[in-house]
């Protein structure tokens, strides 16, 4: 992949920081010089001390704080564009940076590395992530890694984008989503972002004629302002190829045609299950959104690995009654050395004990192996109380997105049968996790989590 002119900085980061520090140091003198200049003008345009007013139409204010903020924003923008991060980063990440620029961090080499280092080390990952984010947001078919295969039947040859145009032409929300998608594809192809005028002309032509073509894509615009973006065979193949590369081939139970290979159900632990520890950012996001734990709450984590989820749960409330189960001896030992209460064993072989108020789990992503874990975990939840039917155990389970979007959870009776086809999947207890949530653990497979209560 050719990311044009990357990096484009003409100087080293050390030289840029040196210039920044010198200019920051000179700001007090600059402000004093500014004040002296305006005082001098006042003196030179009055005689005998008779001041009758300033000879200029306005007197802009200048403060050290404003100067430092402006210099810092300029410095970060220079690095952002000079390293071509504005082209590598996804549309969502670009918007986040623009917001952060309003109150930028201190401009130091360490902060530059922390902010942009990953883009320089892994530009292809971020380009592919940007493409994945666009398609995941626009069509649920792309949320299932089992469907994203080169040449697979069933993937849509077009995506629907609401509010692409309005009576004036360009619609901010829908138009931006369309532009983000077009740019994500172009960056993957090694092309520049589309110019504003070029894109506006394309959109205006589609609005006036009903459709228009651009760079191997065809946009059809309807009277209600919605648009359908169609892809030719080569463009569709390129998109599928890029997404297949991003998601990877880590779930070996999925066959080439997207169907799950039938396997005999057993309680044996597969020897080749990949271990994808739950990143702390994922854990914190789920806990902050979903959990309000009381003292004494009985909590279980099956397949707890090295205890990352357990640590986060105890940080929120150290007074819960928490235990983990882990089959792998090394991981169980790691968790115990952190002071966690962990029993070593195969969770699938434990006899059901419906005594837990809460189960939090991240079972193996491998194929449909997670099904056995989820089904068994449901048997450990406290059933509804007769006098308090709404008081029952609940399960939070991180899963590959195929679990929901391929209809498996519906077939298991854990969500509505047609939940994966609805516009609001979270009404059934399912929530998508951001694209690439498990990247640091070694997989880009789309993920989400299920939050449901014990049956009763």
Average pLDDT, the chain: 85
Q: 275: which residues sit within 8 A by CB, 6+ positions away?
A: 305, 328, 331
Same domain, 289 and 403: yes
Identify the CATH number of the domain in which residue 420 sits: 3.40.50.150
DSSP structure string for 81-133: HHTTHHHHS-HHHHHHHHHHTTSPPP--HHHHHHHHHHHHH-HHHHHHHHHHH
Q: 444 pLDDT exceeds 50?
A: yes
The pLDDT, as a whole number, for residue 35 is 87
Q: 156: which residues sit within 8 A by CB, 6+ positions away?
A: 139, 141
Closest among 69, 72, 70, 119 to 93, alpha carbons compared: 119
Q: How many other C-beta atoms are found inside a 10 Å radius of the C-beta of residue 6?
A: 16
Same domain, 60 and 201: no
Residue range of the domain that includes 86: 13-121
Between 259 and 172, where is the model more confident?
172
Same domain, 225 and 306: no
CA atoms of 432 and 434, how far apart (whole Å): 7
Same domain, 331 and 404: yes
Same domain, 314 and 183: no
Our count of domains for the chain comes to: 3
Same domain, 105 and 157: no
Q: Which of 199, 232, 247 is the last residue of a domain?
A: 247
CA atoms of 454 and 356, how far apart (whole Å): 10
pLDDT interval class at 213 (50, 70, 90):
very high
Same domain, 185 and 41: no
Same domain, 154 and 91: no
Same domain, 360 and 411: yes
426: which DSSP letter? G
SS3 278: coil
Rg (CA), the chain: 28
pLDDT digit string, tens, across residues 354-413? 999 999 999 988 778 899 999 999 999 999 877 666 678 999 999 999 999 989 999 999
Residue 261 included in any domain: no
Q: 431 pLDDT exceeds 80?
A: yes
The residue count for the chain: 456
pLDDT digit string, tens, across residues 73-92? 999 999 999 998 988 898 88
Q: Which of 247, 268, 293 is the last residue of a domain?
A: 247
CA atoms of 368 and 313, how far apart (whole Å): 27
Q: Which of 54, 86, 121 is the last residue of a domain?
A: 121
Same domain, 241 and 310: no
Q: 255 pLDDT exceeds 50?
A: no
The pLDDT, as a whole number, for residue 153 is 61
The pLDDT, as a whole number, for residue 352 is 92
59, 175, 394 from 44: Cα distances, Å: 16, 55, 79
Same domain, 144 and 21: no
Read off the pTM: 0.78
Same domain, 292 and 440: yes
């Amino acid at each position: 992949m050719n990311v044009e002119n990357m990096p484009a900085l003409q100087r080293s980061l050390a030289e840029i920081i040196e210039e920044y520090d010198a200019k920051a140091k000179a700001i007090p003198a600059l402000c004093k010089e500014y004040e002296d200049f305006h005082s001098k003008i006042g003196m030179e345009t009055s005689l005998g001390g008779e001041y009758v007013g300033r000879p200029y139409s306005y007197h802009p204010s200048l403060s050290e704080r404003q100067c430092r903020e402006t210099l810092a924003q300029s410095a970060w923008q220079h690095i952002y564009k000079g390293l071509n991060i504005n082209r590598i980063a996804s549309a969502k990440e670009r918007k986040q940076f623009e917001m952060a620029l309003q109150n930028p961090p201190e401009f130091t080499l360490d902060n530059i590395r922390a902010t942009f280092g990953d883009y320089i080390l892994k530009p292809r990952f971020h380009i592919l992530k940007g493409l994945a984010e666009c398609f995941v947001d626009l069509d649920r078919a792309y949320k299932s890694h089992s469907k994203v295969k080169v040449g697979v039947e069933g993937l849509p040859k077009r995506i629907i984008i609401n509010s692409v145009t309005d009576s004036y032409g360009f619609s901010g929300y829908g138009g931006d989503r369309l532009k983000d998608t077009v740019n994500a594809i172009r960056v993957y192809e090694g092309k520049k972002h589309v110019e504003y005028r070029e894109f506006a002309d394309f959109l205006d032509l589609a609005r006036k004629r009903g459709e228009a073509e651009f760079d191997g894509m065809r946009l059809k615009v309807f009277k209600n302002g919605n648009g359908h973006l169609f892809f030719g065979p080569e463009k569709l193949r390129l998109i599928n190829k890029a997404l297949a590369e991003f998601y990877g081939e880590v779930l070996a139970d999925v066959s080439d045609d997207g169907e799950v290979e039938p396997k005999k159900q057993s309680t044996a632990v597969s020897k080749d299950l990949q271990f994808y520890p739950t990143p702390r950012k994922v854990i914190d996001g789920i806990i902050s959104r979903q959990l309000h734990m009381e003292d004494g709450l009985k909590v279980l984590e099956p397949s707890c690995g090295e205890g990352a989820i357990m640590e986060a749960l105890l940080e929120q409330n150290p007074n819960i009654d928490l235990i983990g189960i882990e089959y792998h001896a090394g991981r169980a030992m790691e968790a115990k050395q952190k002071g966690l209460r962990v029993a070593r064993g195969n969770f699938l072989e434990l006899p059901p004990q419906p005594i837990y108020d809460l189960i939090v789990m991240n079972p193996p992503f491998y194929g449909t192996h997670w099904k056995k874990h989820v089904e068994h975990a449901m048997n450990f939840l406290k059933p509804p109380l007769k006098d308090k039917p709404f008081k029952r155990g609940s399960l939070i389970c991180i899963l590959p997105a195929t679990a929901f979007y391929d209809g498996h959870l519906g077939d298991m009776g854990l969500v509505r049968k047609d939940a994966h086809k609805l516009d609001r999947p979270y009404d059934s207890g399912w929530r998508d996790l951001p694209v690439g949530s498990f990247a640091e653990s070694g997989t880009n497979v789309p993920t989400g989590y299920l939050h449901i209560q014990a049956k009763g």
